[in-house]
Chain A
Amino acid sequence: MDTLAKLIQLRSQFNTFMSEEDLVSSALNFLRENLVDNAMAAFVLVKSPKRSSLYGYSKFPSRSITSQKDALIARIEERSGLVFRPQNFSVYLEDIAPSVGEDLNIDHLVVIPMLLEDKIEGVLLVHSPSMFLPSFDFCSLVAILFQERYFIITHKHQALLFKKMDVINEARNMTYYVVDLEDMFSILGELVLSHSNAQMGFMVLYDDVTGEPKVRCSWHTQLFDISLSISEFERDFPDNLDQIEVDDKGNLLSWVKEHDGYISKLDSVKIYKTGDPTVIDVLVPEMLIIPMVIREKTIGFMTLIRRTVEKEKWTENDISILETIISFSGASIENNRLYEQTLKEQITQKELQVAHSIQVGLQAKIKPVLQHFQVAATSVAARTIGGDYFDFFPLTEKLLAVTLTDIVGKGIPAALIMAFFKGVMQFSVFGQGGPDEIFYTINDNLYRNKSVKNYIPSVFALIDDETCTYTYTNAGHEFPLLFCANDQSFRLLQDAGGLPLGAFSGSTYDKETVPLAMGDIVVMFTDGITEARDKQGIDYGLERLKALIRRNKQLTAQGIVDALQESILTYSEGVPRHDDFTVIVIKRV
């Protein structure tokens, strides 16, 4: 039977075994039959981190294992490039026939390590008493077939998988159940340091706005070995992290930022003394940098540092687990950020609702009823709270005061000023005097009150139901528009007025009285009407306003208000409104 056929047969034979002993016994038997020149085999199988068992054929020179242990281990480590820790051997020998007494000759030994994920789980040793070593390839093939079944029987694969899952589960729990970010960082530190066998670590997050790297948290396991003189790097850790200069890379944090998104494994890293790039402060044996990526964007990175030389370097497997842990914590950081943002938005929304209800309460409540006039109004805010304010004050049965005011700014500050302004207005309008005198008083009142920094453009009018006149003054507000039914003409009422309220001390205002004939219409409006924009960015403008009034002149005051509101909303459909709009229509009937 040729070798290949023998190996195939061996494999199917292996597959029937359910115990380690049967497997080893069968493998040893096969090797004894197939190795030439009295070569003898033995399996070293790792049982625990410190202990291993040697299963051999009795002729294997096991007696001298103890005396040559160091040389044997050195050979195993040299062949595998890995560390062999379980250096206490239990020796089990098949056959009771006594050993022929040969000594182990390391030079006559074929060493084939059996690895699982970068860890030595077993070694096949083949010793030849002669100078002719058995075929390495043949032995390797047997070792491969052996380990294939061996790992299945001993559940080593499974155990490794479970271990990985344990770590990942811990990381998952950390992100699911730990609400506080600081707690999360501390648990994360324990997890990554213990898993990676590192003593120091830190996490850097990039600033949302500037993108600058900022150390977010750090971990440091103190070594209680007083014989070790502590480096400046370690002494000042983590306060010095943004100043760390590393050989041929310059500032560490900046260097990592430039290599955005890559895992870096650095060996023998020279760290210079802070502020002196000529003196080496400490030589760090290993440094591992893993980026933290959320939705394809690198939000920061984690760095792990080993201060002491470890025989077992970080493996691909270690790094992939660390990567998983870090992505969990990244998700946690992101969730936390979103949570806080939502919370903030909810609070702001709540405040806006409160302010909105205040503001709605401030607008005119009454519907003025006059014999010769129809009066109607509407106000549409650009944001939840607008800055437009209109109000009606029935001074007497025959005299109605009307004001339209554009408070500078939007939102809560505007609502507060509006409340204050309404108070001042209410206090002033019922005094004696025309619009000019009323505005003089209000201006003085506002100017003296330094808490109101804003200036307030406002238009104020008295509608006299007896004389059928409209008397107005204007403090820097849009001019009211008059439509004369008689000749279908328009006139901007811009002849009377003064400076905005509250802007300058001692401002004076003049007034004008306009008689209104049947069908005449006065439109008081804020700039939100004429400056409403369409998708091309073109203003609604005064001409469109005039055309609309001309078209709808037959309607009631309320009808005109509704038509105008609909026209503005249609005109600016799909365009975010950047100003409130308010209109008051007064029609002589």
Chain B
Amino acid sequence: MEIFTENKGNVSIVHLGLKKEASGVSGEVELDVDNNYLLSEAVENELAKGHHHILLNIKLVNYVDSSGLGAIFDGYKQVSEKGGIFKIACPNVEVKRVLEITKISKKIDIFSTQEQALQSF
């Protein structure tokens, strides 16, 4: 799974499954037991750089397993501990269902577009 991070204002946007902004190189990805550590690493990197507000864009993610959810939870907790805000943008229908079942949506704000999410910070 590719991860691409960009900064807009004081928010770091972490794109899962995207190689580069506007590179057109992308594909549907699964956030699962084999690659969830990549998400944790990306969040840690941003926090280490002093970027405390993180928006996770999961537009290209078509499946999240329980360890992937763990990584999302983990990211949320790490950001919160630093006093930052962690939000999620663009989940597809299936992933949104999983986020609701696991009650992640109770803790983390989820937006259907990136623009809406950015405005909310």
Q: Which chain A residues have a beta carbon within 8 Å of chain B's beta carbons?
A: 387, 406, 408-410, 453-455, 457, 475-479, 494, 497-500, 503-504, 527, 531, 578-579
Query: A476 with B65: in contact, given A499-B107, A578-B32 (CB under 8 Å)?
Result: no
Contact check, A497 vs B103: say whether CB atoms are below 8 A apart: yes
CA distance A64 to B77 in the complex (A): 101
B119 within 8 A of A: no
Contact check, A500 vs B102: say whether CB atoms are below 8 A apart: yes
B42 within 8 A of A: no
Nearest CB on B from A444, distance (A): 16
A-B contact pairs, 24 of them (CB 8 A): A408-B66, A408-B70, A409-B66, A409-B67, A409-B70, A454-B70, A455-B70, A455-B73, A476-B101, A476-B102, A478-B101, A494-B101, A498-B103, A499-B103, A500-B69, A500-B103, A504-B107, A527-B65, A527-B66, A527-B98, A578-B33, A578-B65, A579-B65, A579-B66
CA distance A380 to B57 in the complex (A): 33
CA distance A551 to B77 in the complex (A): 44
B106 within 8 A of A: yes
CA distance A498 to B101 in the complex (A): 10
CA distance A500 to B107 in the complex (A): 11
Contact check, B102 vs A457: say whether CB atoms are below 8 A apart: yes
Set of chain B residues within 8 Å of A531, measured between Cβ atoms? 63
CA distance A476 to B108 in the complex (A): 14
CA distance A362 to B74 in the complex (A): 27
Set of chain A residues within 8 Å of B103, measured between Cβ atoms? 475-476, 497-500
Set of chain A residues within 8 Å of B69, measured between Cβ atoms? 408, 455, 457, 500
Set of chain B residues within 8 Å of A527, measured between Cβ atoms? 65-66, 98
Query: A477 with B73: in contact, given A499-B107, A527-B66, A578-B65 (CB under 8 Å)?
Result: no
Contact check, B70 vs A477: say whether CB atoms are below 8 A apart: no
Interface bits B49-71 vs A (CB < 8 Å: 1, else 0)? 00000000000000101110110
Set of chain B residues within 8 Å of A455, measured between Cβ atoms? 69-70, 73
Query: A503 with B73: in contact, given A408-B66, A408-B67 (CB under 8 Å)?
Result: yes
Contact check, B33 vs A410: say whether CB atoms are below 8 A apart: yes
Query: A479 with B107: in contact, given A408-B69, A455-B70 (CB under 8 Å)?
Result: no
Contact check, B101 vs A479: say whether CB atoms are below 8 A apart: yes
Set of chain A residues within 8 Å of B98, measured between Cβ atoms? 527
Interface SS of chain A: helix, strand, loop or mixed? loop
CA distance A454 to B33 in the complex (A): 13
User: Which residue from B32, B33, B74, B101 sits with its C-beta under 8 Å from A477?
Assistant: B101
Set of chain A residues within 8 Å of B104, measured between Cβ atoms? 476
- Residue from B70, B104, B106 whose CB has the most chain A CB atoms within 10 Å: B70
Set of chain A residues within 8 Å of B63, measured between Cβ atoms? 531
- Number of residues from B at the complex interface, CB < 8 A: 18
Set of chain B residues within 8 Å of A475, measured between Cβ atoms? 103
Contact check, B101 vs A500: say whether CB atoms are below 8 A apart: no
CA distance A499 to B103 in the complex (A): 5
Set of chain A residues within 8 Å of B70, measured between Cβ atoms? 408-409, 454-455
Contacts A476-B104, A504-B77 known; list 5 others, CB within 8 Å.
A454-B70, A475-B103, A476-B101, A578-B32, A579-B65
Interface bits B97-121 vs A (CB < 8 Å: 1, else 0)? 0100111101100000000000000
Set of chain B residues within 8 Å of A499, measured between Cβ atoms? 103, 106-107
Nearest CB on B from A456, distance (A): 9
Closest residue on chain A to residue B34 by CB atoms: A578
CA distance A454 to B103 in the complex (A): 15
Interface bits B66-84 vs A (CB < 8 Å: 1, else 0)? 1101100110010000000
Set of chain B residues within 8 Å of A408, measured between Cβ atoms? 66-67, 69-70
- Residue from A408, A409, A477 whose CB has the most chain B CB atoms within 10 Å: A408
CA distance A457 to B70 in the complex (A): 10
Nearest CB on B from A500, distance (A): 6
CA distance A410 to B70 in the complex (A): 13
CA distance A408 to B101 in the complex (A): 15
CA distance A410 to B98 in the complex (A): 19
CA distance A453 to B98 in the complex (A): 21
CA distance A494 to B103 in the complex (A): 11
CA distance A486 to B32 in the complex (A): 40
Nearest CB on A from B120, distance (A): 21
Set of chain A residues within 8 Å of B101, measured between Cβ atoms? 476-479, 494
CA distance A477 to B106 in the complex (A): 14
Set of chain B residues within 8 Å of A387, measured between Cβ atoms? 66
Across the A-B interface, give the 8 residue pairs with the lowest CB-CB distance, nearest first.
A476-B102, A408-B70, A408-B66, A499-B103, A476-B103, A408-B67, A455-B73, A409-B67
Nearest CB on B from A322, distance (A): 44
CA distance A498 to B103 in the complex (A): 7
CA distance A408 to B68 in the complex (A): 9
Set of chain B residues within 8 Å of A453, measured between Cβ atoms? 74
Contact check, B66 vs A457: say whether CB atoms are below 8 A apart: yes
Nearest CB on A from B48, distance (A): 19
Closest residue on chain A to residue B70 by CB atoms: A408
Set of chain A residues within 8 Å of B77, measured between Cβ atoms? 503-504
Nearest CB on A from B97, distance (A): 10
Nearest CB on A from B106, distance (A): 6
Closest residue on chain A to residue B32 by CB atoms: A578
